[in-house]
Amino acid sequence: MVETFYKAEITAEKYTESAEYYTLALIHLTGSFFIVTEHHGWWDDAANKARLKSTILTTADEPTTEVEARRIYDEQRTYLVSRGFIHVYQRDIMNGDHIHQVPSAVKG
CA dist 31 and 65 (Å) reads 9
pTM for the structure as a whole: 0.79
Rg from Cα positions in the chain: 15
How many helices (H) does the chain have, and how many strands (E)? 1, 6
Question: How confident is the model over 17-33, as pLDDT tens digits?
Answer: 668 899 999 998 888 88
Q: Looking at residue 38, what is its pLDDT?
A: 96
Q: Looking at residue 26, what is its pLDDT?
A: 92
Q: For residues 2 and 98, is the Cβ–Cβ distance under 8 A?
A: no
Could you tell me how far CA 53 lies from the centroid of its own chain?
A: 12
Q: List, in order, residues 6 or more apart from 28 with CB less than 8 Å away.
A: 34, 66
| 79 sits in which H/E element | helix 66-82
Which residue type does 108 have?
G
Decide if pLDDT at 58 tops 70: yes
